Structures are given as structure tokens and as C-alpha cells.
Amino acid sequence: MMKSPASICPVPSEQQPLNEYQSLKESWIFQWVTLDLRRYSTKLLWVWGWSWLIAGPIAAASFAPQKHWGQFFLCGSAGAGIFVSLLVLRLYLGWSYVRDRLMKETIFYEESGWYDGQTWTKPEEVLTRDRLIVSYQIQPILQRLQRTFGLLVLLLFGGSIVWNFV
């Protein structure tokens, strides 16, 4: 019986791009972006809401909510939006790292420590499988994260325009 190229892979299991993808997909926070749009949006709104615990008091110190309600709300919203933006950035960086590892023809890995790195060239069938995963699974995730970040930027600019009228 002939072994498949994936089964003779010298890369340690936890460093194999396919296993990194599976691990990320099952990870608590990284799997948020794979949820349907309503649940994904709800998770981000929860982060934004909980971020008000930090952003709210800072905004209140700058703008008294009783006197300057509009500025307080816009400032607090922008502050809470920073936490959401950092989360979206972290999600994007994690998914793009795995995308890059799946797309590459050669994989760098460490056998037993940082000092003895090796490279492995993927066989054609493994490379094709990995690139299909990128095309059909990871690219839509990255596009959703890019749209989310774009929406956050639009909200920030919209808030700055409203700021001038409040």
C-alpha cells in the first residue's frame, strides 16, 4: 500500500498548515467570523458594549454626560470601537497567517526548537488541496473581516462628521 504525500509529511502535526487551519477554525474567538452574519454581528456588538466599561468613564471624564451628551456618546462609541477594531485586526492577522501557510509551496517548520528550522516542499496534491481551502474557506472569511473593518472606518468618519454638528 502506497502512502499519500500528506502522510509522509515531516512537519510536526501542530505546524502543518491544514492542522493550523482546523485549530483556528475551532478556536473560541477565531470561529466567530465563520458564524452567520447575525451571530457574528451580535458578537462584535457585545465586544463594543463591554468596551464601554473602559471607554465610558474616559469619555465622561472629558465630556460630562449631563451637559454634553452628544460628545460623550460619540467619544465613548469611538473608544469602544477601538477595542472592536483591535479584535477585527487580530482575527484578520490570524486568518491571513494561516492563508499564507496554506498558499506557500514550501513550509518552514521547527523540528525541536527555534534553532533547527527546516523547510518542506508540498507535493502537488497537497498544494492543490490547500489552495482550494484558501479559495473556498479562508478568502470569504478575510473578505468579511475587510468589510467589517471598512464599516468601522465609515462609522468613525461618520461620527467625526456628526461631531461637528453636536
Residues 138/64, Cβ–Cβ less than 8 Å: no
| 108: CB partners within 8 A, 6+ apart | 117, 118, 119
Coil/strand/helix, residue 117: strand
> How far is 18 from 9, CA to CA, in rounded Å?
12
6 pLDDT tier (thresholds 50, 70, 90):
low
> How far is 42 from 153, CA to CA, in rounded Å?
18
pLDDT in tens, 86-116: 999 999 999 999 999 999 999 998 877 667 7
Angle between helices 69-103 and 17-26 (to 10 degrees): 150
C-alpha cell belonging to residue 9: 509529511
pLDDT, position 116: 75
Coil/strand/helix, residue 106: strand
- Please report, for the chain, the start and end positions of each structural domain, with discontinuous segments joined by +: 35-163
pLDDT, position 1: 46
Percent of the chain with pLDDT over 90: 83
Cell 452628544 belongs to residue: 70
pLDDT in tens, 117-156: 889 999 999 999 999 999 999 999 999 999 999 999 999 9
